[in-house]
Structure 1
Amino acid sequence: MIKKTKPLIIFLLSLLLTIVGITVQPQPTMSETENMTATQEIVKANNSFGFDVFSLLWKYNQQENIFISPSSMSFALSMLYNGATGETAREMREVLHTRDLDLETINSQNQTIREILTNIDPQVQLAIANSLWLKEGFSFQAEFLNNNQTFYNAEISELDFSSQEAVVTINNWVNENTAGKISEIIDSIDPQEILFLINAVYFKGDWTYQFNPENTSQREFYLTDAQEVSVEMMSQMSDFAYLQNEYFQAISLPYGETENLNMYIFLPVEGSNLDEFISLLNLENWQQWLAQMRPIEISISLPKFKREYEQEMGDILRELGMQRAFSAEQADFDAMTTQPVHVSNVKHKTFIEVNEEGTEAAAVTSIGVRATSVGPIMEVNRPFFYAIGERQTGTILFMGTMLNPTVE
């Protein structure tokens, strides 16, 4: 006899704005060594999972500007994992690369990461918000709710899902926790839905070494189909961590006062392409590339760009091996509720804006490009890969490909 199960909905919202003029009060932090030790297992797992997801997205979307947040997905799925049991839990551990970690370690290390990241720099705003929206009258296991509240600081609310007010309430939370960049995530609620699990990651920071708007000019960006588009290209010269090899040029552009957060740009060498680069993208190579970067005076030109990205992640997660969670017949979430439930969809929605503008841009002195430069030149004028990472823990917050900066 086939059992009827109720669907669960997971939303992942990630916002990234790179501009200037953000100030928050600094908070006490652990030493870099303590940060890395306390989180290294889950960071490796989360980053490996992120590379797996990204590689599959690229496999099916090579003509699109991709932008995802591995951290957002890992947080949300870790919250969901607190409710999984049996083979459903085993599949999730395999996909999330946490097969050797117990639930307590996963939860406690994710908690430490969240606390570190949200207090990382006085000039960077980084917020991680989680919420569980429960159908009124539906029974959930106390430990599932307590774990998510304790370790993920999740807001937990019970709503009348038959009322349009529930839609408004959830969308208002999304709007508030993404600074208005994503105002709506649902337009209605199916009668069978019993839980919305939402993670939002919001980032807004200023460059440590800002681009002078006077150095921004219209230049050509060369697309994969031999076409060209005109883009606003920011330029400056300064000392940045840099790596060049037979595959790519790479540079690290720091944010804020502490330089713990960085945008990493990887530009495949001419004659190569992003497909070849992404085939090399894995945890071991990533760690080696970052370790090999060395500071050098360099002329960097980077296009301004803005991107909104939305992707249903169910098929990707199934292909990676997380199949039972989506099956009405096989899903096992007995640690969440005594009633049969399954995941109906996992929606990932992101936004990024990279530019040189902001409330303090005109008043900040920036070193411009000098014609007498004898150092390397990195002109990002063709498709590239980029990521936002936190240096102390090694966490990758965001990663993406930019094929055409004029497409939002």
Structure 2
Amino acid sequence: MNRQKLSGVKETFLQRRYGVSLGRRYVLAAASVVLLGVLGCSQVNNSSSALAQSDIPQSEYPLPKKIANNDTKLVNANNKFGFKLFSEILKNNSSENNIFISPSSVAIALAMTYNGASGTTQQAMAKTLELQGMSLPEINSAYASLKELLEKPSEKVQLTIANSLWARKDVSFQPDFLKTTQNFYKAQVTNLDFQDVTAPNTINNWVKEKTNGKINKIVATIKPDEVLFLINAIYFKGKWSDEFDKTQTAEHPFHLISGKQKQHPMMSQTGDYRYYENEQFQAVSLPYGLDRKISFYIFLPKQNSNLNVLYQNLSLENWEKWMTQFRKQEGFIRLPRFKTDYDVTLNDALKALGMEEAFSDKANFSNMGQNLTISQVKHKTFVEVNEEGTEAAAATSVGIQATSLRQQPEPFRMIVDRPFFCAIRDNQTGSILFMGSILEPK
């Protein structure tokens, strides 16, 4: 990458064109796409040599081996679910608050849960997770191979995906369900005394370890009727392919949605980038590592547009279309250095997306165990972007609780010693053939 400073008129031109002030809306736009870019956009299988001679934009560089058809289906399903989930979270979010989620973390945690679902509960989850048309073996195999692909070692890039199941020690679960999570999701299965006051700490310490200390707590307390926690943790750390020069970082105004502005450290860089621009936004891809297969995508609404317009168009179809439009172009970029964490309970969002039954007494998780329902889906994330690169982590917990067992009615006593009403009914048709009021039996 050409890292020399642009001088004179050229620098002024580029700063005017590319160095526009970034409002607070940038953080939201970047947050909405970063892990989607990280986990959902590296599925091209061209050879490296061919790519070097080509302008194919779908991925910075290809993955090391061809992705199976089922893996592609799963990636598309996860991305589509991610956009739906993000849109649902937006509805309940204050315009002044950052959002940062890992759709892949949520999807993996729910996919493990999906293995325990049956009947209409399974159908509802499949629709919400966009898994229709894929069998359970296909889904599990695709997750296994996708995990292997994503975690493949890369210089300057670390990506780990960890799963665990924490079961109350006095509750039995279907052996096949536990075996599946171990075989395909490499889940650590632990029987735990949920009544022990240290039980939440045991679970949280696992999350802390798997997220390199970025997420310290995902389970606050364990309710008396909770019997299982299915947890996913994702940790990502990547150094830019071309790091920002710290000496070029300076205070610049950052415009907030409210119209106010604040001075904030902004990183600057010039060079060749994969870039896309349309009437509504500018977008750039900042790659990580030497192989550049993972990128940080920034979508910046133009001055005559806004984030709402972008969000209205944020769908799997448009995302895939946009990914094909990126082209190498020389330019200047200035972006804020930032660090943020985020947490959200996803019950309402998932219910709105069609999973309401899974949270109710009607839930059918018979492939997991008897009389079970989802109590809470909790999601936490962390991200830091600076001159060296990006560090991000996510954890998702799916809590499973026992449903209220239906009490058997007490044997009744009926003493007909008062005036009464009676009827003769055809139970096949429901027709009442006779009815009467007996005030005095004779």
> Shorter-chain TM-score category?
0.7 to 0.9
Equivalent of 1:299 in 332, 337, 340:
332
CA shift in 2, pair 1:31/1:273, >3 Å: closer
Within 1, Cα distance between the matches of 2:209 and 2:327?
40
Equivalent of 2:204 in 171, 175, 192:
171
Decide which structure has the larger Cα Rg and report it. 2
Within 1, Cα distance between the matches of 2:157 and 2:137?
30
Within 1, Cα distance between the matches of 2:105 and 2:268?
31
CA shift at 1:138, angstroms? Answer: 0.5
Within 2, Cα distance between the matches of 1:31 and 1:265?
22
Equivalent of 1:239 in 272, 278, 299:
272
Letter of the aligned partner of 2:375 in structure 1?
Answer: S
Instruction: Please give the per-residue CA displacement for 1:301-332, whole angstroms capped at 9, x wherever unaligned.
Output: 010011110000000000011011100x2100
Q: Which residue of 1 aligns with 2:374?
A: 343
Within 2, Cα distance between the matches of 1:321 and 1:63?
28
CA shift at 1:139, angstroms? Answer: 0.6
Instruction: Please give the per-residue CA displacement for 1:69-103, whole angstroms capped at 9, x wherever unaligned.
Output: 01001101100000000000000000011111110
Q: Would you identify which runs of 4 or more consecutive aligned residues in structure 1 move more than 6 Å?
A: none
* Residues 174 and 185, structure 1, Cα contact 8 Å, conserved in 2: yes
Q: Which residue of 1 aligns with 2:322?
A: 289
Equivalent of 1:317 in 350, 355, 377:
350
Q: Which residue of 2 aligns with 1:264?
A: 297
Please list, as runs of the form range in 1=range in 2, the aligned pairs for 1:134-153 lying within 5 A after superposition: 134-153=167-186
Q: Which residue of 1 aligns with 2:216?
A: 183
* Residues 171 and 185, structure 1, Cα contact 8 Å, conserved in 2: yes
Equivalent of 2:161 in 107, 111, 128:
128
* Residues 172 and 183, structure 1, Cα contact 8 Å, conserved in 2: yes
Q: Which residue of 2 aligns with 1:253?
A: 286
3-state secondary structure, aligned to 1:58? helix
Equivalent of 2:67 in 35, 53, 61:
35
Within 2, Cα distance between the matches of 1:331 and 1:304?
45
3-state secondary structure, aligned to 1:323? helix
Instruction: Please give the per-residue CA displacement for 1:231-287, whole angstroms capped at 9, x wherever unaligned.
Output: 100000011100111010000000011100000100011021100101000011101
1:115 aligns with 2:148: yes
3-state secondary structure, aligned to 1:111? helix
Equivalent of 1:355 in 367, 386, 392:
386
3-state secondary structure, aligned to 2:107? helix
1:47 aligns with 2:79: yes
Letter of the aligned partner of 1:115 in structure 2?
Answer: E
* Residues 222 and 228, structure 1, Cα contact 8 Å, conserved in 2: yes
Equivalent of 2:195 in 129, 154, 162:
162
CA shift at 1:54, angstroms? Answer: 0.6
Within 1, Cα distance between the matches of 2:259 and 2:159?
38
3-state secondary structure, aligned to 2:259? coil
**Bigger RCO of structures 1 and 2 (CA < 8 A, at least 6 apart):** 1
Aligned residues: 334
Within 2, Cα distance between the matches of 1:312 and 1:246?
35
Q: Which residue of 2 aligns with 1:212?
A: 245
- Say what the alpha-carbon RMSD is for the aligned residues: 2.1
Within 1, Cα distance between the matches of 2:235 and 2:114?
23
3-state secondary structure, aligned to 2:215? coil
CA shift at 1:190, angstroms? Answer: 1.5
Letter of the aligned partner of 1:82 in structure 2?
Answer: N
Q: Which residue of 2 aligns with 1:364?
A: none
CA shift at 1:39, angstroms? Answer: 1.1
Within 1, Cα distance between the matches of 2:219 and 2:259?
39
3-state secondary structure, aligned to 1:68? coil
Normalised by the length of structure 1, the TM-score is 0.79
CA shift at 1:168, angstroms? Answer: 2.2
% same residue = 46
Within 2, Cα distance between the matches of 1:187 and 1:317?
21
In the alignment, structure 1 segments of 5+ residues that lack a partner are 1-14, 17-29, 359-385, 389-396, 399-408
